[in-house]
Amino acid sequence: MPPVDVDATVIANARLSSDYSVLSLAAPEVGKRTQPGQFVMVKPAGVTDPLLRRPFSVFEVLRTDNGDVTGVSILNKRAGRSTRKLYELEPGDVVSCLGPLGVPFRPVLAPMEAWMVAGGVGLAPFATLAQALAAARTPATLFYGARTAAELFYLDFFESLGATLVLTTEDGGRGIRGRVTHPLETALQNVGPDGAMIYACGPEPMLEAVAKLARRYNQPSQVSVERVMGCGLGGCYSCVIAVKHGDEHANLVRSCITGPVFDGAELVWES
């Protein structure tokens, strides 16, 4: 279905910490169309600062108690001018919201397991994926790493869907101290015969490490990347990433329309 552009009213902007908020938007037409892993292009409406929209994975599809879709939320982390402005929005403010965009995750079915690997704000696409996996009764594990215990969010939500949680923090304040790739590698060493589909979203060095681990242990992976993006529709050629199929030479492809979800084995890392 084609994307729609909505002048969406802010329903709520729940500050989870001094950096993170969940921005809920009245955009039912976007929500109805969204599949797990897709994204929206967002900016405060009617201003030239910021000028361009920024890409955000859809975090939640919002519904009434009756199940009617009312909108979407995004998980916003203050990092630059645009995300600072989004953090400061209040209910009643209006944002331009274009979407859903991009290639969604491909779900897997039992007996294969689904392992979601999230780093920081990379948690965003996994709320809707975890719901889809739970609905399909696929066994799911969330490997979730953050800087501190205070930046591990929505744990009850994932637990209520039956996902197993493996948590890491850089300071050791909760879960395992260190990087999320460490418990992932331990798990890969003991993966069952039916295998696991590894889904990853987070900082690019983490994505590279996850994709390489998945390859080393012969498991498939789906990696959601984030590049500096201008339009979200394939028009500007800003958000390119190197992809290699088999023996072909690497090509720069647009992560907005060929991704943002890629087969981790096909991505060529620049580092």
Which is closer to another protein, CB of 163 or CB of 229? 229
Sign of the four-CA dihedral 250, 255, 257, 261 = positive
Structure tokens at 41: 């292009």
Which is closer to another protein, CB of 22 or CB of 103? 103
Which is closer to another protein, CB of 51 or CB of 90? 51
Footprint on residues 216-245 left by another protein (CB under 8 A): 227-228, 230-231, 233-241
Is 252 among the residues that bind another protein (CB under 8 A)?
yes
Binding segment (CB under 8 A) for another protein, from list 84-92, 129-137, 170-178, 249-257: 249-257
**Shortest approach of another protein to residue 51 CB, angstroms?**
6
Which is closer to another protein, CB of 153 or CB of 262? 262
Which is closer to another protein, CB of 9 or CB of 238? 238
**Shortest approach of another protein to residue 219 CB, angstroms?**
28
Q: Are 97 and 55 in contact (CB under 8 A)?
A: no
Footprint on residues 115-144 left by another protein (CB under 8 A): none
Which residues does 84 contact at the CB level (< 8 Å), separation at least 6?
Answer: 78
CA–CA distances in Å: residue 174 to residues 134, 152, 177: 25, 9, 7
User: How many residues lie near another protein (CB under 8 A)?
Assistant: 30
Footprint on residues 159-188 left by another protein (CB under 8 A): none
Is 269 among the residues that bind another protein (CB under 8 A)?
no
Footprint on residues 45-84 left by another protein (CB under 8 A): 48-53, 82
**Shortest approach of another protein to residue 5 CB, angstroms?**
5
Is 204 among the residues that bind another protein (CB under 8 A)?
no
Which is closer to another protein, CB of 127 or CB of 241? 241
Q: Which of 162, 177, 251, 268 binds another protein (CB under 8 A)?
A: 251
Which is closer to another protein, CB of 52 or CB of 191? 52
**Shortest approach of another protein to residue 237 CB, angstroms?**
5
Structure tokens at 233: 């529709």
What residue ranges bind another protein (CB under 8 A)? 2-3, 5, 43, 48-53, 82, 96, 98, 227-228, 230-231, 233-241, 251-252, 257, 270
